[in-house]
Structure 1
């Protein structure tokens, strides 16, 4: 997300590996300059410039704009790692960081994901104009620059790179939005209307509305949960409206309050959808993301698709690896939780993809040998190149739920067939089977055996596969459901079931066995009240069969011979998703204890009312 966690992970990277190597290199080879750059409306933005000490040659510029602070402040204080990676730092670039308007040392008013203006008039400003004005100043005032600029950013800075695409300054020749926030309602705050609870509550106490801009007051004190058990904490918190009184920072935070006040996809959120504005882009773009990005998976895929659809002919590269949020920028990328990917995917990306991309477009080094889509296939653990994404060779098929909890590509034939479970919001299904206070980064590959053993989770699975089955592209859940309540959440999980003789790997937890492991491959939620419209929610009519359809986002995963494909369906996934009271209320975020009730949810798998997942099979 606009993730504070990502910020601290970067610091950790800089203070671990970088402290003894990269930090020394940075200090020996770079000097720092701090300036205020004036925008067209007179507002001045604080900018840190890291210049190579060797002034005998010229260098291209790499620019990142951020709401997370360009710290450390002071011309004598240096970042431990300068630029996107140690590899690029050593290649020689002028690297520029800027506090966006209204944040930290920059002047002006901050607006969360400031709306883009397509038809600008005199005096109009947005992130694209601030990007243009910044680049204009840099190329005119930095004495030994080549006149070529590249942009990059991860998460919230990824949004600023994405919004800066439309600056179209002639010096901007390469941009890389990485895990970019794109549509705040669908990305970070709500997934099809289901609120991402620890993801947001863990973030906003840090991302408060600062007016003093004192760099010494870096971040507020860590949020005190009072217990390491997030399940217990959020259950005891009760209805979400209680959060406003829980801490002073949350109660006063306009961004947290905005999330609670706007549960529907209204004009507040629509204005913050940058995907509607990716027009007229003329330079090379490389969108980067991770299959296991719990924060901005939607933003990654939709940003690539938006640029591709609106700007035919430009070089729009797409890179996705087996990474968590920002995982490609640090570490090795060879493991996640109990899953081992067999190779150092992150270091490969930094050296063989990102470095080559910027060096080619900014320095003219190397060859333009980039495939349209460089994707890591999980399950078989290998990189694959495609000329488009999703690959045209992937054929759409329906994976049907069937009687007796069977999953098959064969359509159900029963005249009457359904499965039911009782959903109790006071005893929600845990999103993890271990103790954690927030949203663990590995939850997207976690073992799901704890869920399949619960009576309030429906579990369907195929027979043992006789051949590999590779899914490539997005997945759509198409459910036929009914409920005894007037609202309900439906969470769908696609799972790779390992054989009963699967061997442990070197990173398997001590209390875990990979034999029979149920690895989550993809999951997503739908708040049922939004099944017909994300703008205007409507209640369910109790016991009436209705359609609930939603996208689970893309995968490139091979279910290997000897494995099974499993689908789980449930109505709680706590605390990662806040609880639905299962009673229709205008705004769930202000529901009372009395609104929460049990309900029986029914999923139909009969000839007239077939439930299925539409998948893309690449074999």
Structure 2
């Protein structure tokens, strides 16, 4: 409750700051200056989608539409019940827009059957050929014809799942849709929220689907989902006692949640998931786009980065902007965005995005105001500076390799010895490496894990560590990182987790966000991390076992960063094979892990090679 009160106070404060003059309460202003309407808008196949529309009472001028399509409810319902905030940020409320909120097909008060990340169609030959693109097209057409005093222009925005619906709005290709901002958008459900390179993100998904599943039929409802109450915050203990993944149904869900079963039934990147990859459809886009994400988005970092890259590549004549700040999932939309956990970002970074990038983007394309923003606006962590570029990744970078060397060394110089050196560790599924220091806070994802100090793992024998000498100059990495491992295992499957850390000097001082009992001196800040399920090393669609004892390349992407490892710091890399319960446990035998038995789980010894013949390294882009 205390957090809720603080959040409400924060929103009120931000709203006051958005408008010159005396403080104004957003909710009171909305009620005084907007009229709310509710409609069931017909789609081409006859289904109707529930839509709330907030229209300015001042009808002396025409207004553009700002629309958010969501699977999370447009509540509150009833024309006398108003939202306490409208639009992407409070500044929009006072500038005047027609705000539109719509329950997507099959959710809440809209008709139809819900499909998770509805597969998009390239062709729509009949009225039965529907998807989120056609639903958006039909909605825009209806709004233009039925809501008076509009200026004929539509903008769409949304965060997370609504970010996906914003991306699919582009596929409507409606001429009135002139601006869209997919923010932390899901782009490929298998890769974004489900499996990171084949490793299943357990805590992010297990508790989500019961609460998300408020209906599985075509009957509109305002009833929320029941959720799941584990009775503990200790996810490490809970999931260890749960046992193999099949027990999620045997013990808890009893095959009653269709969307969860789709996860369980499709562990490989098969046609079910390929159909839900919206990136393959992002061509022939004319709408101006602002893609937004956070460097520390634990949910949809992949979606933001790859939605931008795909749009920019496939639509070179279309204005496509990219903004990435030091935020968690959706952290740019409200609040200061000034820190994450113990890490200080040098002041509030959210207001700059909301006022100087997002608001100006929509105002320009919907109202014709001036636009003076760079194509790429990215926050450089480590130095805490905003940087602008014309392309992402920037052009002035040099590809280099950071090699793992014997003795726990990390260097830009390749291993010189012909000796077939390696480091090894035993990975035990019965004693997995925790992903945060406090196991009592592991029932949820704990977004702070993405910058958390990794010194709590110093005594783990199943975590390898490699680090550079103290840096004699700043080293800035810009763009994606690729792990190129040479491994051997005694098992037939294994996960490999690679974490890139920024090691602070012993002279580093605490900041105002440093937690109790924490010292920033020697802090090992995680900068980027990713796992891979080894059986997917050659194909996400066709898994294959390891040959025990055989040296095998395992290459995978750690995604993009813009981070400066400052002079006096060190670069460190961790390699491990469990990360629990952030990801589920790999039995280390080649089986369908979603249907594995307890007897399938085995200890295994993994080798990471550090030799000239079998080098392991990170491929990085260094700013010149």
Q: In the alignment, which of 594, 600, 612 is matched to residue 607 of structure 1?
A: 612
Offset from partner CA, 1:542-601 (integer Å, 9 cap, x none):
01000000000000000000000000000000010110000110x101111100010000
Equivalent position of 1:563 in the other structure? 569
In structure 2, what is the Cα distance between the partners aligned to 1:391 and 1:202?
A: 39
CA shift in 2, pair 1:579/1:128, >3 Å? same
Does residue 255 (structure 1) correspond to residue 248 (structure 2)? The answer is: no
Equivalent position of 1:424 in the other structure? 428
Q: CA deviation at 1:219?
A: 3.4
Name the SS of the counterpart of 2:332 in structure 1.
helix
Q: CA deviation at 1:452?
A: 3.3
In structure 2, what is the Cα distance between the partners aligned to 1:310 and 1:397?
A: 28
Offset from partner CA, 1:418-437 (integer Å, 9 cap, x none):
00000001100000001312
Alignment of 1:393-412 (within 5 A): 393-412=396-415
Q: CA deviation at 1:283?
A: 1.6
Equivalent position of 1:23 in the other structure? 27
Q: CA deviation at 1:245?
A: 3.0
In structure 2, what is the Cα distance between the partners aligned to 1:269 and 1:321?
A: 29
Equivalent position of 2:248 in the other structure? 243
Deviating above 4 A after TM superposition, structure 1's stretches of 4 or more consecutive aligned residues are 7-20, 212-216
Does residue 326 (structure 1) correspond to residue 303 (structure 2)? The answer is: no
Segment of structure 1 superposing worse, 340-349 or 206-215? 206-215
Name the SS of the counterpart of 1:305 in structure 2.
helix
**Equivalent residues of 1:290, 1:323 under 8 A apart:** yes
Alignment of 1:543-582 (within 5 A): 543-582=549-588
In structure 1, what is the Cα distance between the partners aligned to 2:251 and 2:149?
A: 52
Equivalent position of 1:4 in the other structure? none
Does residue 542 (structure 1) correspond to residue 548 (structure 2)? The answer is: yes
Offset from partner CA, 1:518-548 (integer Å, 9 cap, x none):
0000000000000111111010010100000
Equivalent position of 1:158 in the other structure? 163
Segment of structure 1 superposing worse, 21-30 or 601-610? 21-30
In structure 2, what is the Cα distance between the partners aligned to 1:207 and 1:10?
A: 23
Q: In the alignment, which of 88, 103, 107 is matched to residue 107 of structure 2?
A: 103
In structure 2, what is the Cα distance between the partners aligned to 1:207 and 1:523?
A: 28
Name the SS of the counterpart of 1:130 in structure 2.
helix
Name the SS of the counterpart of 1:206 in structure 2.
helix
In structure 2, what is the Cα distance between the partners aligned to 1:84 and 1:528?
A: 40
In structure 2, what is the Cα distance between the partners aligned to 1:264 and 1:468?
A: 41
Does residue 299 (structure 1) correspond to residue 303 (structure 2)? The answer is: yes
CA shift in 2, pair 1:9/1:396, >3 Å? farther
Q: CA deviation at 1:215?
A: 4.7
CA shift in 2, pair 1:16/1:489, >3 Å? farther
In the alignment of these two chains, the number of paired residues is 609
Equivalent position of 2:194 in the other structure? 189
Name the SS of the counterpart of 1:513 in structure 2.
coil
Q: CA deviation at 1:13?
A: 6.8
Does residue 173 (structure 1) correspond to residue 178 (structure 2)? The answer is: yes
Q: CA deviation at 1:251?
A: 3.0
Name the SS of the counterpart of 1:243 in structure 2.
helix
Does residue 384 (structure 1) correspond to residue 387 (structure 2)? The answer is: yes
Does residue 360 (structure 1) correspond to residue 373 (structure 2)? The answer is: no
Q: CA deviation at 1:56?
A: 1.1
Q: CA deviation at 1:201?
A: 0.6
In structure 2, what is the Cα distance between the partners aligned to 1:9 and 1:579?
A: 37
Does residue 117 (structure 1) correspond to residue 114 (structure 2)? The answer is: no
Offset from partner CA, 1:384-404 (integer Å, 9 cap, x none):
000100001011100000011
**Equivalent residues of 1:52, 1:92 under 8 A apart:** yes
**Equivalent residues of 2:492, 2:589 under 8 A apart:** yes
Which ranges in structure 1 are unaligned for 5 or more consecutive residues?
1-6
CA shift in 2, pair 1:478/1:156, >3 Å? same
Name the SS of the counterpart of 2:208 in structure 1.
coil
Q: CA deviation at 1:139?
A: 1.0
Name the SS of the counterpart of 2:505 in structure 1.
coil
Q: CA deviation at 1:162?
A: 0.4
CA shift in 2, pair 1:580/1:389, >3 Å? same
Name the SS of the counterpart of 1:323 in structure 2.
coil
Does residue 208 (structure 1) correspond to residue 213 (structure 2)? The answer is: yes
**Equivalent residues of 1:18, 1:81 under 8 A apart:** no
**Equivalent residues of 2:508, 2:521 under 8 A apart:** yes
Q: CA deviation at 1:71?
A: 0.4
Q: In the alignment, which of 125, 138, 141 is matched to residue 143 of structure 2?
A: 138
Q: In the alignment, which of 182, 204, 227 is matched to residue 199 of structure 1?
A: 204
In structure 1, what is the Cα distance between the partners aligned to 2:431 and 2:5?
A: 33
**Equivalent residues of 1:461, 1:567 under 8 A apart:** yes
Offset from partner CA, 1:327-348 (integer Å, 9 cap, x none):
0001100011000001211111
**Equivalent residues of 1:429, 1:574 under 8 A apart:** yes
**Equivalent residues of 1:431, 1:573 under 8 A apart:** yes
CA shift in 2, pair 1:312/1:304, >3 Å? same
Q: CA-atom RMSD, angstroms?
A: 1.7
Q: In the alignment, which of 441, 464, 468 is matched to residue 462 of structure 1?
A: 468
**Equivalent residues of 1:158, 1:177 under 8 A apart:** yes
Equivalent position of 2:19 in the other structure? none
**Equivalent residues of 2:187, 2:303 under 8 A apart:** yes
In structure 2, what is the Cα distance between the partners aligned to 1:452 and 1:213?
A: 54
In structure 2, what is the Cα distance between the partners aligned to 1:606 and 1:492?
A: 18
**Equivalent residues of 1:15, 1:80 under 8 A apart:** no
CA shift in 2, pair 1:15/1:200, >3 Å? farther
**Equivalent residues of 1:452, 1:568 under 8 A apart:** no
Does residue 531 (structure 1) correspond to residue 534 (structure 2)? The answer is: no
Q: CA deviation at 1:264?
A: 0.4
In structure 2, what is the Cα distance between the partners aligned to 1:88 and 1:166?
A: 25
Equivalent position of 1:507 in the other structure? 513
**Equivalent residues of 2:112, 2:219 under 8 A apart:** no
Which ranges in structure 2 are unaligned for 5 or more consecutive residues?
17-23
**Equivalent residues of 2:270, 2:541 under 8 A apart:** yes
Equivalent position of 2:224 in the other structure? 218
Equivalent position of 1:370 in the other structure? 373
Q: CA deviation at 1:466?
A: 0.3
Does residue 314 (structure 1) correspond to residue 322 (structure 2)? The answer is: no
**Equivalent residues of 1:10, 1:330 under 8 A apart:** no
**Equivalent residues of 1:378, 1:558 under 8 A apart:** yes
Equivalent position of 1:342 in the other structure? 346
In structure 2, what is the Cα distance between the partners aligned to 1:9 and 1:301?
A: 32
Q: In the alignment, which of 267, 270, 280 is matched to residue 266 of structure 1?
A: 270
TM-score (norm 2): 0.95
Name the SS of the counterpart of 1:617 in structure 2.
strand
